[in-house]
Amino acid sequence: MNQDVHTLCHGRPVAVVGAGLVGAGWAIVFARAGLRVKMFDTDPRVLGNATPLIESQLGALRRHGLIDEEPAAVLARIAPAATLAEAVEGASYVQESVLERVDVKRELMIALDALLAPDAVVGSSTSGIPGSAFALDLSISPRVLIVHPVNPPYLVPVVELVPSPQTAQASVRSTDALMQAVGQTVVHVRKEVEGFVLNRLQAVLLREAWALVQEGVVSCEDVDKTVRDGLGWRWSFMGPFETIDLNAPGGVADYAVRLGPLYQRIADSRSHAEMWDAGLISQVEGQRRQHLSHDELESRRAWRDERLMEFAAARRRGES
């Protein structure tokens, strides 16, 4: 894999711009694949915190058998940079994970336009801002696209690639190859739709879940049980289309004829005209706090990341 990666990057480093949780996660993705990573953040404290954070995350990955090298060997390939210019100098690929604001991202694109090598590609980690909003009408515009990860990207492999109307297909292809080479799973979002694909799917499921709680049909905890001990099992290794393809004797078309009308009636029963109001939010908050106090959120997040690593290790065993 690494040879592959070096060829794809022409032996040049990659740059990570924005060194918060997401940026630090990206640095691990690239460095564990053997690439040299230069990391920059406009806030020196954020940049300073990134290295110890990455070190502890690499230690956890090593404990779970998810990296073959010692953490120090991977960390040695990640170098903080004092300036944006230093970070992107000679970089073949730049992953930006700066503040989720159009003006901040536009300002960065203008700066990169003046700094980048003529073949460098820029991936944006934005989860909601389309490239059209900040990446158009620059000389680098054909080489900018959305590369939306799930946090943390070194644990959950999917990335959504979303070109803007000005993104060149060659940039999509080379980023696809790079992401696969560093171990990510690439999803191609062919049009700029709000929420891209992952958050749209999450959104519709959450909307229905909140509505069912509001109507007193089910509790939050029971919604979680329904997915955790039911729906989530097949989805975690097949996804929804393969699931239904196998759930009717004749495959997905057979399934659509059998269950399409039911799903239509369910869809028709929802307009989602109303926002989640304060009363509903405090109801859901109250139910969650019965299971987990505010003070326990942080430790539960650590538990989650441990489970994600066990899951990743089990998946790796299952696939090997």
Segment 34 to 73, residues that bind its own copies, using CB under 8 A: none
Pair 140, 113: CB distance under 8 Å: yes
207: contact with its own copies by CB under 8 A: yes
Q: CB under 8 Å to 112, separation ≥6 — which residues?
A: 84, 88, 94, 96, 122, 140
Find the farthest-apart pair of alpha carbons in the chain and give their distance in angstroms, rounded. 61
Closer to its own copies by Cβ: residue 170 or 233: 233
State the minimum distance, in angstroms, from the CB of residue 84 to its own copies: 27
Contact characters 277-316, its own copies, x per CB under 8 A: ----xx-xx-xxx-xx-x--x--xx--x--xx-xx--x--
CB of 311 to its own copies, least distance (A): 6
Q: What angle do CA 206, 208, 209 make, to 5 degrees?
A: 60
Nearest to its own copies of 13, 149 (CB atom): 149
Total residues contacting its own copies by CB under 8 A comes to 103
Q: How far is the CB of 110 from its own copies (least distance, A)?
A: 26
Do 131 and 108 meet the contact criterion of CB atoms below 8 Å apart? no
**Those residues with Cβ within 8 angstroms of residue 204's Cβ, 6 or more apart along the chain or in another chain:** none
> Looking at beta carbons only, is 136 or 252 nearer to its own copies?
252
Using CB under 8 A as the binding rule, whether residue 107 contacts its own copies is answered as no
Q: Does 33 bind its own copies (CB under 8 A)?
A: no
Q: Which is nearer to its own copies, 51 or 180 (CB)?
A: 180
The token duo for 229 is 């001990």
Query: Which element (helix H / strand E) includes 260?
Result: helix 252-268
β-pairing verdict for 14-17 and 144-149? unpaired
Angle between helix axes 44-63 and 297-319 (nearest 10 degrees) is: 50
Select 170 or 218, whichever has its Cβ closest to its own copies.
218
At closest approach, how far in Å is the CB of 204 from its own copies? 4
Q: Which residues lie closer than 8 Å to 156 by C-beta, 6 or more apart?
A: 149, 150, 308
Window 144-203: residues binding its own copies (CB under 8 A): 150, 155-158, 160, 185-191, 193-195, 197-203
Kindly identify the residues of this chain, within the stretch 218-257, that bind its own copies according to CB under 8 A: 218-242, 244-246, 250-253, 256-257
